[in-house]
Chain A
Amino acid sequence: MTTINPSARKKIKAGSFSLNRFGPGAQAAFHIILALFSLLCIIPFIFVVIISFSSEESIRQVGFSFTPVSWSVEAFTYTFRLGNALWRSYFNSFLITIVGTILSVAITILYAYPLFRKDFRFRGFFNFLSFFTMIFGGGLVPTFVICKSVLGLSDNYAALIVPMLFSPFNVIIMRTFLQTAVPTELIEAATIDGSGEYNTLVRIVLPIVKPGIATVALLVALSYWNEWFLSLLYLNKNMDIMPLQYLLMRMQRNADFLAKNSSMLGADAAKAVAQLPSQSLKMALVVFIVIPIACAYPFFQRYVVAGLTIGSVKG
Protein backbone atom coordinates (compact mmCIF):
# COMPACT_ATOMS: atom_id res chain seq x y z
CA MET A 1 0.00 0.00 0.00
CA THR A 2 1.38 3.42 -0.97
CA THR A 3 1.02 6.56 1.04
CA ILE A 4 -0.30 9.80 -0.39
CA ASN A 5 2.56 11.91 -1.65
CA PRO A 6 2.24 15.66 -1.15
CA SER A 7 2.29 16.53 -4.84
CA ALA A 8 -0.64 14.18 -5.51
CA ARG A 9 -2.51 15.74 -2.67
CA LYS A 10 -1.94 19.16 -4.20
CA LYS A 11 -3.19 17.87 -7.54
CA ILE A 12 -6.38 16.55 -5.97
CA LYS A 13 -7.00 19.89 -4.35
CA ALA A 14 -6.30 21.74 -7.59
CA GLY A 15 -8.41 19.27 -9.58
CA SER A 16 -5.76 19.09 -12.28
CA PHE A 17 -5.86 15.41 -13.10
CA SER A 18 -7.63 12.99 -15.41
CA LEU A 19 -11.29 13.87 -15.50
CA ASN A 20 -12.89 10.47 -15.32
CA ARG A 21 -10.73 8.93 -12.64
CA PHE A 22 -9.28 10.13 -9.40
CA GLY A 23 -5.52 10.59 -9.41
CA PRO A 24 -3.19 7.98 -7.90
CA GLY A 25 -2.99 9.91 -4.66
CA ALA A 26 -6.72 9.85 -4.09
CA GLN A 27 -6.86 6.20 -5.15
CA ALA A 28 -4.23 5.36 -2.56
CA ALA A 29 -6.11 7.27 0.12
CA PHE A 30 -9.31 5.39 -0.74
CA HIS A 31 -7.48 2.09 -0.55
CA ILE A 32 -6.03 2.91 2.85
CA ILE A 33 -9.36 4.01 4.34
CA LEU A 34 -11.31 1.06 2.96
CA ALA A 35 -8.63 -1.49 3.83
CA LEU A 36 -8.42 -0.22 7.39
CA PHE A 37 -12.16 -0.43 7.90
CA SER A 38 -12.31 -3.87 6.24
CA LEU A 39 -9.65 -5.12 8.63
CA LEU A 40 -11.56 -3.63 11.55
CA CYS A 41 -14.56 -5.67 10.47
CA ILE A 42 -12.88 -9.05 10.74
CA ILE A 43 -10.21 -8.43 13.38
CA PRO A 44 -12.57 -9.09 16.33
CA PHE A 45 -13.32 -12.53 14.91
CA ILE A 46 -9.64 -13.29 14.34
CA PHE A 47 -8.97 -12.10 17.90
CA VAL A 48 -11.58 -14.47 19.30
CA VAL A 49 -10.10 -17.36 17.30
CA ILE A 50 -6.66 -16.56 18.73
CA ILE A 51 -8.07 -16.40 22.27
CA SER A 52 -9.77 -19.75 21.83
CA PHE A 53 -6.39 -21.26 20.97
CA SER A 54 -4.58 -19.51 23.83
CA SER A 55 -3.67 -21.55 26.86
CA GLU A 56 -5.32 -20.66 30.15
CA GLU A 57 -1.85 -19.96 31.52
CA SER A 58 -1.25 -17.40 28.78
CA ILE A 59 -4.57 -15.69 29.51
CA ARG A 60 -3.59 -15.40 33.17
CA GLN A 61 -0.24 -13.89 32.25
CA VAL A 62 -0.98 -11.49 29.41
CA GLY A 63 -4.78 -11.48 29.25
CA PHE A 64 -6.57 -11.77 25.92
CA SER A 65 -3.80 -11.03 23.47
CA PHE A 66 -3.11 -11.24 19.76
CA THR A 67 0.23 -12.78 20.70
CA PRO A 68 -0.36 -15.32 23.48
CA VAL A 69 2.70 -16.72 25.23
CA SER A 70 1.56 -20.29 24.68
CA TRP A 71 -1.02 -22.01 22.51
CA SER A 72 -3.42 -24.79 23.40
CA VAL A 73 -6.32 -26.72 21.95
CA GLU A 74 -7.61 -27.39 25.45
CA ALA A 75 -10.71 -25.27 24.94
CA PHE A 76 -11.74 -27.32 21.93
CA THR A 77 -11.01 -30.70 23.48
CA TYR A 78 -13.10 -29.46 26.39
CA THR A 79 -16.06 -28.65 24.18
CA PHE A 80 -16.14 -32.33 23.27
CA ARG A 81 -16.11 -33.32 26.90
CA LEU A 82 -18.72 -30.70 27.74
CA GLY A 83 -20.91 -33.12 25.87
CA ASN A 84 -24.64 -32.97 25.79
CA ALA A 85 -25.40 -29.34 26.55
CA LEU A 86 -23.29 -28.09 23.68
CA TRP A 87 -24.08 -30.69 21.05
CA ARG A 88 -27.75 -30.64 21.81
CA SER A 89 -27.93 -26.90 21.31
CA TYR A 90 -25.86 -27.19 18.15
CA PHE A 91 -28.37 -29.74 16.91
CA ASN A 92 -31.26 -27.47 17.98
CA SER A 93 -29.80 -24.56 16.04
CA PHE A 94 -29.54 -26.65 12.89
CA LEU A 95 -33.01 -28.14 13.34
CA ILE A 96 -34.67 -24.77 13.92
CA THR A 97 -32.81 -23.21 11.02
CA ILE A 98 -33.63 -25.98 8.55
CA VAL A 99 -37.28 -26.50 9.46
CA GLY A 100 -37.88 -22.76 9.84
CA THR A 101 -36.30 -21.95 6.51
CA ILE A 102 -38.23 -24.57 4.55
CA LEU A 103 -41.59 -23.55 6.03
CA SER A 104 -40.88 -19.86 5.79
CA VAL A 105 -39.76 -19.98 2.17
CA ALA A 106 -42.87 -21.96 1.21
CA ILE A 107 -45.20 -19.51 2.93
CA THR A 108 -43.36 -16.51 1.49
CA ILE A 109 -43.54 -17.78 -2.09
CA LEU A 110 -47.18 -18.72 -1.74
CA TYR A 111 -47.98 -15.24 -0.43
CA ALA A 112 -45.80 -13.34 -2.89
CA TYR A 113 -47.07 -15.10 -6.01
CA PRO A 114 -50.73 -13.95 -5.85
CA LEU A 115 -49.49 -10.44 -5.00
CA PHE A 116 -47.42 -10.51 -8.16
CA ARG A 117 -50.44 -11.52 -10.27
CA LYS A 118 -52.00 -8.26 -11.45
CA ASP A 119 -55.20 -10.13 -12.35
CA PHE A 120 -55.73 -11.38 -8.78
CA ARG A 121 -58.93 -9.94 -7.38
CA PHE A 122 -57.87 -9.62 -3.73
CA ARG A 123 -54.38 -8.40 -4.53
CA GLY A 124 -54.94 -5.03 -2.89
CA PHE A 125 -56.37 -6.58 0.25
CA PHE A 126 -53.55 -9.07 0.82
CA ASN A 127 -51.00 -6.44 -0.05
CA PHE A 128 -52.36 -4.12 2.62
CA LEU A 129 -52.70 -6.94 5.14
CA SER A 130 -48.97 -7.51 4.92
CA PHE A 131 -47.89 -3.89 4.44
CA PHE A 132 -49.77 -2.52 7.44
CA THR A 133 -47.81 -4.75 9.83
CA MET A 134 -44.65 -3.03 8.63
CA ILE A 135 -45.79 0.31 10.02
CA PHE A 136 -47.84 -0.70 13.06
CA GLY A 137 -47.78 -3.52 15.56
CA GLY A 138 -49.20 -4.61 18.89
CA GLY A 139 -45.89 -4.21 20.64
CA LEU A 140 -43.71 -6.68 22.46
CA VAL A 141 -45.87 -7.55 25.46
CA PRO A 142 -49.28 -8.14 23.80
CA THR A 143 -47.55 -10.19 21.09
CA PHE A 144 -45.71 -12.20 23.69
CA VAL A 145 -48.79 -12.85 25.81
CA ILE A 146 -50.93 -13.84 22.84
CA CYS A 147 -48.27 -16.18 21.48
CA LYS A 148 -47.67 -17.73 24.86
CA SER A 149 -51.09 -18.08 26.42
CA VAL A 150 -53.42 -18.12 23.42
CA LEU A 151 -51.31 -19.89 20.80
CA GLY A 152 -49.34 -22.10 23.20
CA LEU A 153 -45.94 -21.01 21.97
CA SER A 154 -43.96 -21.74 25.08
CA ASP A 155 -41.07 -24.08 25.82
CA ASN A 156 -41.41 -25.87 22.49
CA TYR A 157 -39.74 -25.80 19.10
CA ALA A 158 -42.77 -24.08 17.60
CA ALA A 159 -42.13 -21.08 19.88
CA LEU A 160 -38.69 -20.71 18.32
CA ILE A 161 -39.92 -21.15 14.73
CA VAL A 162 -43.46 -19.81 14.29
CA PRO A 163 -42.97 -16.16 15.35
CA MET A 164 -40.45 -15.70 12.52
CA LEU A 165 -42.14 -17.71 9.78
CA PHE A 166 -43.32 -14.75 7.78
CA SER A 167 -41.88 -11.35 7.02
CA PRO A 168 -43.47 -8.66 4.81
CA PHE A 169 -39.93 -7.63 3.91
CA ASN A 170 -39.20 -11.06 2.39
CA VAL A 171 -42.54 -11.03 0.56
CA ILE A 172 -41.52 -7.75 -1.08
CA ILE A 173 -38.16 -9.21 -2.09
CA MET A 174 -39.83 -12.30 -3.55
CA ARG A 175 -42.51 -10.29 -5.35
CA THR A 176 -39.88 -8.03 -6.89
CA PHE A 177 -37.95 -11.06 -8.14
CA LEU A 178 -41.16 -12.38 -9.69
CA GLN A 179 -41.93 -9.05 -11.32
CA THR A 180 -38.50 -8.78 -12.92
CA ALA A 181 -38.12 -12.40 -13.99
CA VAL A 182 -41.55 -13.69 -14.96
CA PRO A 183 -43.33 -12.19 -17.98
CA THR A 184 -47.12 -11.99 -17.63
CA GLU A 185 -47.53 -13.54 -21.10
CA LEU A 186 -45.93 -16.73 -19.85
CA ILE A 187 -48.60 -17.16 -17.20
CA GLU A 188 -51.39 -16.28 -19.62
CA ALA A 189 -50.03 -18.85 -22.06
CA ALA A 190 -49.91 -21.50 -19.35
CA THR A 191 -53.49 -20.72 -18.32
CA ILE A 192 -54.70 -20.98 -21.91
CA ASP A 193 -52.96 -24.34 -22.15
CA GLY A 194 -55.11 -25.46 -19.23
CA SER A 195 -52.47 -25.34 -16.50
CA GLY A 196 -53.93 -24.97 -13.00
CA GLU A 197 -52.69 -22.19 -10.74
CA TYR A 198 -50.55 -24.44 -8.53
CA ASN A 199 -49.20 -26.25 -11.54
CA THR A 200 -48.18 -22.96 -13.15
CA LEU A 201 -46.49 -21.83 -9.95
CA VAL A 202 -44.53 -25.01 -9.35
CA ARG A 203 -43.68 -26.09 -12.89
CA ILE A 204 -43.26 -22.78 -14.68
CA VAL A 205 -42.67 -19.92 -12.25
CA LEU A 206 -40.45 -21.49 -9.57
CA PRO A 207 -37.72 -22.68 -11.97
CA ILE A 208 -37.40 -19.12 -13.28
CA VAL A 209 -37.07 -17.45 -9.88
CA LYS A 210 -34.53 -19.81 -8.35
CA PRO A 211 -32.14 -16.92 -7.52
CA GLY A 212 -34.99 -15.18 -5.70
CA ILE A 213 -35.77 -18.31 -3.72
CA ALA A 214 -32.10 -18.72 -2.84
CA THR A 215 -31.95 -15.12 -1.63
CA VAL A 216 -35.01 -15.38 0.57
CA ALA A 217 -33.93 -18.79 1.87
CA LEU A 218 -30.53 -17.43 2.87
CA LEU A 219 -31.95 -14.36 4.58
CA VAL A 220 -34.39 -16.50 6.52
CA ALA A 221 -31.76 -19.12 7.39
CA LEU A 222 -29.44 -16.41 8.71
CA SER A 223 -32.07 -14.87 10.89
CA TYR A 224 -32.98 -18.29 12.34
CA TRP A 225 -29.33 -19.17 12.94
CA ASN A 226 -28.73 -15.85 14.71
CA GLU A 227 -31.92 -15.97 16.73
CA TRP A 228 -31.77 -15.68 20.52
CA PHE A 229 -34.55 -13.23 21.35
CA LEU A 230 -37.32 -15.79 20.92
CA SER A 231 -35.48 -18.12 23.30
CA LEU A 232 -35.16 -15.29 25.80
CA LEU A 233 -38.92 -14.74 25.62
CA TYR A 234 -40.37 -18.20 25.26
CA LEU A 235 -37.98 -20.62 26.95
CA ASN A 236 -38.49 -20.88 30.68
CA LYS A 237 -38.25 -24.49 31.72
CA ASN A 238 -37.42 -26.66 28.74
CA MET A 239 -33.75 -25.86 28.20
CA ASP A 240 -33.25 -29.01 26.13
CA ILE A 241 -34.44 -27.19 23.03
CA MET A 242 -32.21 -24.16 23.53
CA PRO A 243 -30.29 -23.08 20.41
CA LEU A 244 -26.58 -22.32 20.46
CA GLN A 245 -26.97 -18.53 20.45
CA TYR A 246 -28.99 -18.66 23.62
CA LEU A 247 -26.58 -21.08 25.28
CA LEU A 248 -23.83 -18.61 24.55
CA MET A 249 -25.90 -15.75 25.89
CA ARG A 250 -26.77 -17.52 29.13
CA MET A 251 -23.16 -18.46 29.64
CA GLN A 252 -22.30 -14.81 29.69
CA ARG A 253 -25.06 -13.93 32.14
CA ASN A 254 -24.16 -16.65 34.49
CA ALA A 255 -20.52 -17.14 35.34
CA ASP A 256 -20.85 -20.59 36.82
CA PHE A 257 -23.10 -21.92 34.11
CA LEU A 258 -20.23 -23.98 32.73
CA ALA A 259 -19.42 -25.36 36.13
CA LYS A 260 -23.05 -26.39 36.57
CA ASN A 261 -23.12 -28.06 33.20
CA SER A 262 -19.88 -29.89 33.64
CA SER A 263 -21.24 -31.39 36.84
CA MET A 264 -23.10 -33.62 34.44
CA LEU A 265 -19.77 -35.19 33.60
CA GLY A 266 -19.95 -37.46 36.61
CA ALA A 267 -17.38 -38.70 39.09
CA ASP A 268 -14.42 -36.40 38.57
CA ALA A 269 -16.70 -33.38 38.16
CA ALA A 270 -15.05 -31.27 40.84
CA LYS A 271 -11.66 -31.82 39.31
CA ALA A 272 -13.03 -31.02 35.90
CA VAL A 273 -14.51 -27.74 37.08
CA ALA A 274 -11.27 -26.70 38.70
CA GLN A 275 -9.39 -27.25 35.45
CA LEU A 276 -12.04 -25.65 33.30
CA PRO A 277 -10.48 -23.36 30.69
CA SER A 278 -13.54 -21.15 31.08
CA GLN A 279 -12.29 -18.03 29.30
CA SER A 280 -10.97 -19.69 26.17
CA LEU A 281 -13.86 -22.15 26.23
CA LYS A 282 -16.39 -19.34 25.83
CA MET A 283 -14.44 -17.98 22.91
CA ALA A 284 -14.23 -21.47 21.40
CA LEU A 285 -18.04 -21.62 21.47
CA VAL A 286 -18.18 -18.27 19.67
CA VAL A 287 -15.92 -19.77 17.01
CA PHE A 288 -18.27 -22.75 16.74
CA ILE A 289 -21.22 -20.47 16.13
CA VAL A 290 -19.51 -18.27 13.56
CA ILE A 291 -17.84 -21.04 11.58
CA PRO A 292 -20.93 -22.19 9.64
CA ILE A 293 -21.57 -18.57 8.64
CA ALA A 294 -17.94 -17.86 7.81
CA CYS A 295 -17.71 -21.01 5.67
CA ALA A 296 -20.89 -20.38 3.73
CA TYR A 297 -20.41 -16.61 3.56
CA PRO A 298 -18.36 -16.36 0.34
CA PHE A 299 -21.02 -18.40 -1.49
CA PHE A 300 -24.18 -16.74 -0.21
CA GLN A 301 -22.95 -13.17 -0.01
CA ARG A 302 -23.84 -12.47 -3.65
CA TYR A 303 -27.45 -13.60 -3.25
CA VAL A 304 -27.96 -11.79 0.01
CA VAL A 305 -26.58 -8.55 -1.38
CA ALA A 306 -28.97 -8.81 -4.31
CA GLY A 307 -31.92 -9.48 -2.00
CA LEU A 308 -31.16 -6.75 0.49
CA THR A 309 -30.66 -4.21 -2.28
CA ILE A 310 -34.06 -5.03 -3.73
CA GLY A 311 -35.73 -5.16 -0.34
CA SER A 312 -34.41 -1.81 0.77
CA VAL A 313 -35.38 -0.03 -2.42
CA LYS A 314 -38.89 -1.39 -2.63
CA GLY A 315 -39.53 -1.94 1.05
Chain B
Amino acid sequence: MNVLEYVADRWDRLSLQALLHVSAVVQCTVLAAVIGVATGVAVYRSPVGSALATALASTILTIPSFALLALLIPVFGLGADTTVVALVLYALLPIVRNTIVGLAGVDPAVSDAARGIGMSRFGVLTRVELRLAWPAILAGMRVATQMLMGIAVIAAYAKGPGLGSEVFSGLANAGSANSLNQALTGTIGVVILALLLDGIYVLVNRITVSRGVRG
Protein backbone atom coordinates (compact mmCIF):
# COMPACT_ATOMS: atom_id res chain seq x y z
CA MET B 1 0.00 0.00 0.00
CA ASN B 2 1.51 3.36 -0.99
CA VAL B 3 0.94 6.69 0.73
CA LEU B 4 -1.93 7.78 -1.52
CA GLU B 5 -3.78 4.52 -1.04
CA TYR B 6 -3.17 4.79 2.69
CA VAL B 7 -4.59 8.32 2.77
CA ALA B 8 -7.60 7.34 0.65
CA ASP B 9 -8.24 4.33 2.85
CA ARG B 10 -8.14 6.25 6.14
CA TRP B 11 -9.47 9.59 4.84
CA ASP B 12 -12.17 9.95 7.49
CA ARG B 13 -9.78 9.65 10.40
CA LEU B 14 -6.98 11.64 8.76
CA SER B 15 -9.20 14.55 7.74
CA LEU B 16 -10.56 14.75 11.28
CA GLN B 17 -7.00 14.77 12.66
CA ALA B 18 -6.00 17.47 10.18
CA LEU B 19 -8.99 19.57 11.18
CA LEU B 20 -8.20 19.15 14.87
CA HIS B 21 -4.55 20.00 14.23
CA VAL B 22 -5.37 23.25 12.42
CA SER B 23 -8.06 24.12 14.88
CA ALA B 24 -5.72 23.67 17.86
CA VAL B 25 -2.99 25.75 16.21
CA VAL B 26 -5.31 28.56 15.15
CA GLN B 27 -7.06 28.76 18.51
CA CYS B 28 -3.77 28.76 20.38
CA THR B 29 -2.36 31.47 18.10
CA VAL B 30 -5.42 33.64 18.69
CA LEU B 31 -5.23 33.09 22.44
CA ALA B 32 -1.50 33.85 22.39
CA ALA B 33 -2.18 36.98 20.33
CA VAL B 34 -4.64 38.26 22.92
CA ILE B 35 -2.20 37.59 25.77
CA GLY B 36 0.84 38.71 23.77
CA VAL B 37 -0.65 42.01 22.55
CA ALA B 38 -1.95 42.78 26.03
CA THR B 39 1.53 42.12 27.42
CA GLY B 40 3.13 44.24 24.70
CA VAL B 41 0.72 47.11 25.37
CA ALA B 42 1.43 46.87 29.09
CA VAL B 43 5.21 47.09 28.75
CA TYR B 44 6.05 48.96 25.52
CA ARG B 45 6.40 52.36 27.15
CA SER B 46 8.99 51.08 29.62
CA PRO B 47 12.35 49.93 28.24
CA VAL B 48 12.90 47.72 31.29
CA GLY B 49 9.47 46.15 30.99
CA SER B 50 9.98 45.55 27.28
CA ALA B 51 13.34 43.87 27.83
CA LEU B 52 11.92 41.75 30.64
CA ALA B 53 8.89 40.56 28.68
CA THR B 54 11.01 39.71 25.65
CA ALA B 55 13.60 37.87 27.74
CA LEU B 56 10.92 35.87 29.52
CA ALA B 57 9.24 34.87 26.27
CA SER B 58 12.62 33.96 24.77
CA THR B 59 13.41 31.76 27.74
CA ILE B 60 10.20 29.81 27.26
CA LEU B 61 11.12 29.26 23.63
CA THR B 62 14.50 27.77 24.54
CA ILE B 63 12.88 24.98 26.58
CA PRO B 64 12.72 21.88 24.36
CA SER B 65 9.13 21.01 23.60
CA PHE B 66 9.42 17.50 25.09
CA ALA B 67 10.78 18.97 28.31
CA LEU B 68 8.02 21.53 28.50
CA LEU B 69 5.39 18.86 27.97
CA ALA B 70 7.01 16.76 30.64
CA LEU B 71 6.80 19.72 33.00
CA LEU B 72 3.19 20.48 32.13
CA ILE B 73 1.73 16.98 32.20
CA PRO B 74 1.91 16.69 36.01
CA VAL B 75 0.03 19.98 36.31
CA PHE B 76 -2.56 19.74 33.53
CA GLY B 77 -2.61 15.99 32.85
CA LEU B 78 -2.63 14.27 29.49
CA GLY B 79 -4.74 15.72 26.70
CA ALA B 80 -5.87 19.00 25.22
CA ASP B 81 -5.17 21.24 28.23
CA THR B 82 -1.45 20.54 28.26
CA THR B 83 -1.28 20.96 24.49
CA VAL B 84 -3.03 24.32 24.60
CA VAL B 85 -0.83 25.66 27.39
CA ALA B 86 2.35 24.54 25.65
CA LEU B 87 1.37 25.92 22.27
CA VAL B 88 0.27 29.28 23.71
CA LEU B 89 3.54 29.62 25.62
CA TYR B 90 5.60 28.92 22.51
CA ALA B 91 3.57 31.35 20.41
CA LEU B 92 4.10 34.20 22.85
CA LEU B 93 7.64 35.20 21.93
CA PRO B 94 7.16 36.28 18.29
CA ILE B 95 3.89 37.99 19.14
CA VAL B 96 5.10 39.84 22.25
CA ARG B 97 8.32 40.90 20.57
CA ASN B 98 6.63 42.08 17.39
CA THR B 99 3.97 43.94 19.35
CA ILE B 100 6.64 45.81 21.30
CA VAL B 101 8.69 46.54 18.18
CA GLY B 102 5.58 47.60 16.27
CA LEU B 103 4.32 49.93 19.00
CA ALA B 104 7.75 51.39 19.62
CA GLY B 105 8.09 52.03 15.88
CA VAL B 106 5.07 54.33 15.73
CA ASP B 107 6.27 57.85 14.87
CA PRO B 108 6.04 59.86 18.12
CA ALA B 109 4.81 62.85 16.10
CA VAL B 110 1.77 60.82 15.06
CA SER B 111 0.93 59.82 18.64
CA ASP B 112 1.52 63.40 19.76
CA ALA B 113 -0.79 64.74 17.06
CA ALA B 114 -3.42 62.18 18.05
CA ARG B 115 -3.28 63.34 21.68
CA GLY B 116 -3.11 66.96 20.58
CA ILE B 117 -6.32 66.85 18.58
CA GLY B 118 -8.19 65.31 21.47
CA MET B 119 -8.06 61.52 21.25
CA SER B 120 -8.23 59.81 24.62
CA ARG B 121 -5.30 57.58 25.64
CA PHE B 122 -7.38 54.52 24.82
CA GLY B 123 -8.32 56.04 21.46
CA VAL B 124 -4.69 56.77 20.60
CA LEU B 125 -3.81 53.17 21.45
CA THR B 126 -6.63 51.42 19.60
CA ARG B 127 -7.20 53.75 16.65
CA VAL B 128 -3.64 54.81 15.95
CA GLU B 129 -0.85 52.91 17.67
CA LEU B 130 -2.22 49.36 17.45
CA ARG B 131 -3.46 49.99 13.92
CA LEU B 132 0.03 51.07 12.91
CA ALA B 133 1.66 48.19 14.77
CA TRP B 134 -0.80 45.67 13.29
CA PRO B 135 1.36 44.60 10.31
CA ALA B 136 4.17 43.73 12.74
CA ILE B 137 1.78 41.94 15.11
CA LEU B 138 0.33 40.00 12.21
CA ALA B 139 3.82 39.03 11.07
CA GLY B 140 4.49 37.78 14.61
CA MET B 141 1.31 35.71 14.55
CA ARG B 142 2.33 34.26 11.20
CA VAL B 143 5.67 33.10 12.54
CA ALA B 144 3.95 31.76 15.64
CA THR B 145 1.48 29.76 13.55
CA GLN B 146 4.22 28.18 11.47
CA MET B 147 6.10 27.23 14.59
CA LEU B 148 3.02 25.79 16.27
CA MET B 149 2.21 23.58 13.31
CA GLY B 150 5.41 21.67 14.00
CA ILE B 151 5.24 21.80 17.77
CA ALA B 152 1.64 20.56 17.74
CA VAL B 153 2.98 17.31 16.29
CA ILE B 154 5.09 16.81 19.39
CA ALA B 155 2.06 17.57 21.54
CA ALA B 156 0.64 14.20 20.49
CA TYR B 157 3.09 12.84 23.05
CA ALA B 158 0.82 14.36 25.66
CA LYS B 159 -2.18 12.84 23.86
CA GLY B 160 -3.03 16.16 22.22
CA PRO B 161 -5.25 16.31 19.14
CA GLY B 162 -3.95 16.37 15.56
CA LEU B 163 -1.71 14.71 13.04
CA GLY B 164 1.01 14.11 15.61
CA SER B 165 -0.59 10.81 16.59
CA GLU B 166 0.06 9.51 13.05
CA VAL B 167 3.73 10.38 13.32
CA PHE B 168 4.06 8.90 16.79
CA SER B 169 2.35 5.62 15.96
CA GLY B 170 4.49 5.44 12.83
CA LEU B 171 7.55 5.78 15.03
CA ALA B 172 6.28 3.37 17.65
CA ASN B 173 5.57 0.67 15.09
CA ALA B 174 8.70 1.18 13.00
CA GLY B 175 9.18 -1.72 10.61
CA SER B 176 5.53 -2.73 10.48
CA ALA B 177 3.39 -2.54 7.34
CA ASN B 178 2.10 1.03 7.48
CA SER B 179 4.63 2.72 9.74
CA LEU B 180 6.32 4.68 6.94
CA ASN B 181 2.98 5.64 5.45
CA GLN B 182 1.82 6.94 8.84
CA ALA B 183 4.94 9.01 9.42
CA LEU B 184 4.84 10.38 5.88
CA THR B 185 1.14 11.21 6.03
CA GLY B 186 1.53 13.03 9.31
CA THR B 187 4.56 15.01 8.14
CA ILE B 188 3.33 15.91 4.66
CA GLY B 189 -0.10 16.72 6.05
CA VAL B 190 1.43 19.22 8.48
CA VAL B 191 3.48 20.84 5.71
CA ILE B 192 0.45 21.21 3.43
CA LEU B 193 -1.67 22.62 6.23
CA ALA B 194 1.10 25.08 7.17
CA LEU B 195 1.28 26.33 3.60
CA LEU B 196 -2.50 26.73 3.48
CA LEU B 197 -2.51 28.72 6.70
CA ASP B 198 0.32 30.89 5.41
CA GLY B 199 -1.78 31.67 2.34
CA ILE B 200 -4.62 32.69 4.61
CA TYR B 201 -2.26 35.07 6.44
CA VAL B 202 -1.40 36.77 3.15
CA LEU B 203 -5.12 37.22 2.58
CA VAL B 204 -5.78 38.55 6.09
CA ASN B 205 -2.89 40.97 5.66
CA ARG B 206 -4.42 42.28 2.42
CA ILE B 207 -7.80 42.77 4.03
CA THR B 208 -6.83 44.22 7.40
CA VAL B 209 -3.77 46.39 6.72
CA SER B 210 -4.55 49.90 5.46
CA ARG B 211 -3.21 50.69 1.98
CA GLY B 212 -1.59 53.72 3.55
CA VAL B 213 0.89 51.61 5.51
CA ARG B 214 1.16 48.45 3.41
CA GLY B 215 4.74 47.88 2.29
Q: Do A and B interact? A: no
A residues whose Cβ falls under 8 Å from a Cβ of B = none
